[in-house]
Amino acid sequence: MGRMNDPFDTPPRPVEPGEYPVWDEALALVNRDLAATLPERAPLRLTGLPGWEEDEAPHEHVHVALADGTWWGNHLPDGSDADPVSALFAVAEAAQDTVSERLWQAWPVCSEHNLGMHLREADERAVWWCPQDHVRAAVGALDPVQRPPGARRGRGARRA
Ligand SMILES: [Zn+2]
């Protein structure tokens, strides 16, 4: 018999809507930002990995993944779904890691200054903060990016 809870034996599983409702709601907000800024990308989703055997009480770890199920970085911290504010910070941070590392681009980018933004707290809300020292928008409230017709962002977009 194989060992239980060995992450090398058990593949990640897609998390179904409703299993982690507070993270689901946070992810819906972050996916709004993704749709506004990278409309060609399918929504992010949650994916679950069995906990490590060494854990005191083995439990599933949840990652924010691209539509293809791949992710980058840490799992959502245990207990970060205790309240919506913590959940939004955790999910936005994980989403930023996954998008920027898996897609090789800064995300999200300030449309005014073309700079990669950081997650910050302002008035107890999660916001996207631009290095030019301004708050761009609350997480979930980024404006749709206006791009010239035919323009594409990212690697491979350059014409020879
Ligand atoms: Zn800016």
User: How far apart are alpha carbons 59 and 97 in whole angstroms?
Assistant: 23
The amino acid at residue 102 is R
In order, the DSSP letters of the chain are -PPTT-TTTS--EEPPTTSSHHHHHHHHHHHHHHHHH-TTSPPPEEEEEPPPTTSSS---EEEEE-TTS---SPPPPTTTTSSHHHHHHHHHHHHHHHHHHHTTS-SSB-TTT--B-EEEEETTEEEEEETTTEEEEETT-PPPPP--TT---STT-S--
Tokens representing 160 are 């020879």
Q: Higher pLDDT residue, 74 or 53?
A: 74
Whole-number Å distance, alpha carbon 66 to ligand 1 midpoint, is: 26
Whole-number Å distance, alpha carbon 13 to ligand 1 midpoint, is: 37
For residue 150, the model assigns a pLDDT of 57
pLDDT above 50 for 2? no
pLDDT above 80 for 129? yes
pLDDT above 70 as % of the chain: 84
Q: Higher pLDDT residue, 155 or 139?
A: 139
For residue 8, the model assigns a pLDDT of 57
Residue with tokens 């970085």: 73
Whole-number Å distance, alpha carbon 113 to ligand 1 midpoint, is: 4
CA 67 to chain centre: 11
Those residues whose C-beta lies under 8 Å from the C-beta of residue 31, and which sit 6 or more positions away, are 43, 44
Q: Out of 19-33, 78-92, 137-151, which region has the weakest mean confidence (pLDDT)?
A: 137-151
pLDDT above 90 as % of the chain: 74
Whole-number Å distance, alpha carbon 105 to ligand 1 midpoint, is: 17
The C-alpha angle 141, 49, 89, rounded to 5 degrees, equals 25
Residues 39-69 have pLDDT tens digits of: 999 999 999 998 777 767 778 999 999 999 9
Q: Out of 23-27, 96-100, 147-151, which region has the weakest mean confidence (pLDDT)?
A: 147-151
Per-domain boundaries in the chain: 13-108
Whole-number Å distance, alpha carbon 86 to ligand 1 midpoint, is: 25
For residue 1, the model assigns a pLDDT of 39
Whole-number Å distance, alpha carbon 50 to ligand 1 midpoint, is: 39
